[in-house]
Every structure is written in structure tokens, then in C-alpha cells.
Amino acid sequence: MTPPSGSTVPAAASRRTVAHPVTTSGLGVITGQQVAVTISPSDQGLRFRHVPSGTLIPAGPSSVATGRSWSIISSGEAAVNLVEHLLAALAAAGITDADVEVDGPELPLLDGSALPWADLIASAGTTDLPGGVPCLTVPEPTILRGDDGSQWLAAYPHSSWKLVYILDWPHPMVGLQCARFDLETGDFRTEIAPARTFALARDAEAARAAGIFQAGDTSSVLLIFDDRLSDAPALPDAFARHKLCDLLGDLYAAGRPWRGLFIGYNSGHALNHRLVKTVLAPVS
């Protein structure tokens, strides 16, 4: 694969926070508990406040962990699950500084998309902060493959932040789908955010039977049956768009905007997190 060309990488991005605190709540699908989330102005970068323990967790590569099929921000015993959709919405809105207060162990899944988070951030408004934040960059082309060879994720140096995602599932209700998004020129709320979390119906039932999901139904997850979907997708190529949303959120869990081109093929959270740590690993 030939890496794309890119011009000089900008050294920094503008800093921005929310103008006013905003709160939402919903059912945590892992625990079955009601969870409230408040996003507040800050000038200290992106931080999660885990209310039950009182722990403040800055976003960053060392804070990121992989759950069963979601992303986690953690510090010691304190952990906040299912952070990827909110992080994607924060990235798309250019929010570099904010405190996210969570009164439980997970963010609510809401309707399974990033749109409720994007709407919540829009309702808060934004405020520019002085100075800039150094962008994370891709110093050289990097390609990682999954253990079974059916997934890969590539990162290339680039002057802006762009993502491409290819989903290739041999399932009659999925098939081959492709999505792309440019953080500088794209409209996240219409192009990416409405695409919902999805799962094979048999996998969702097995997870529920194993006690992994205590709550959640087709209002929060789009189920894929052998011959139908539980609901009509909100967008064309919606499954690829949702996977791109996950990738965007996983990249932003590093705590700063990126400059790079990222191309995923069937990749998931574990590979996304491994790529971030690989790209940002200090050169020995």
C-alpha cells in the first residue's frame, strides 16, 4: 500500500471548551443502572470525573483500556466504560478541554449513536480558550493487523485529520460498506453521528444470557438478524459509519486532536487502541 502524500503538519490546534455545563442521563446497558453525565467548562484538557470514587482521570494513551466491545477510560480501580461515542462527538466539535462527570461506571448508550452527545454539546455552546494544544501526529506510515488477519488499521502522516473505514462482513444484511470523514470539512451531525451501535442478534442474546449486558434493547442497539434488521439504518453504509465513529472516539481518547490519515478494515477497539499506543510510543 502506497502512503498518501501530505503537506507540513500544523504544530497546534485551537483550544475550545463548552460554554455552559450540560447534563443528560440514561440507562447503563452493562450495569442496568441509571447514569447521569455532566459536561462542564475547563481549561485543563479532557478529563473524566468518576463520581463514585472521586477520581479525576485525564484522557491519554495510558488511561485507555479495551472492554468486551467498547472503550474504557480508567485510573487504578476507577473506570468509566463506553466512552467512545462521547469522545467522537467532542473531537468533531473541536472540544479540547472539558470535565466529564459520571456518577456511575459507564456512560449511557442512549440510542446507540453519537447524535445525542453531539446535540448535548451543541446545546452547551462553545468558548475559545487562549493558546493552542499540540496535535498528535503520525511520524511514519504504520500498519497493524489483527491476530487472525481479517482486520487491519493503517495510519499515515497527513496535514489534516481524516478517517476512512471499510467494513466487509459476509452477511446478507451487511456486506461491503465504506465510510469516510474529514474533521476539517465534514458535518459530523449529519454524516456520522446518527449511525447506531449494531450487533448480530445471536451475539447480543448470548451476551445477555452471560450477564454481560444487564439492560438495553433495540432502542439502543440495531440488531442484525439472518434476514432483517431490527430497525432501518439512519444512513447509507450506516454500519461502516458507526465503526468510523468508534475509531474517531478511540483516537481522541489519547486526549488531543490528531493530524493524520487513518484507514481501518474491519478493525475494532482493541486494534484502534493498539495503533494509538504504537504510533505514540517513544523512539528508542
pLDDT in tens, 158-181: 999 999 999 999 999 999 999 999
Convert the pLDDT of each residue in 48-80 to its tens digit.
999 999 999 999 999 999 998 899 999 999 999
Q: Where are the alpha helices (DSSP H) in 63-169?
A: 84-92, 115-124
Q: Which CATH number, 3.30.1330.40, 3.40.50.1970, 3.30.230.20, 3.30.450.30, labels domain 12-134?
A: 3.30.230.20
Question: Is the per-residue pLDDT at 4 higher than 70?
Answer: no
Q: Which of 143, 122, 105 is nearest to 274 (CA)?
A: 143
Under 8 Å CB-to-CB from 148, ≥6 apart: which residues? none
Q: Within 13 Å of residue 275, how many CA atoms lie on the same side as its CB?
A: 35
pLDDT of res. 152 = 97
- What is the four-CA torsion angle of 246, 81, 124, 99, rounded to 10 degrees? -120
Instruction: Round the average pLDDT of the chain to a whole number and report it.
Output: 93
* pTM of the entire predicted model: 0.94
Report the C-alpha gap between 264 and 242 in whole angstroms: 12
Per the annotation, the verdict on 171 as an active-site residue is no
- Written as nine digits, the cell of 139 is 511520524
Active-site pick, 85, 158, 242, 269: 269
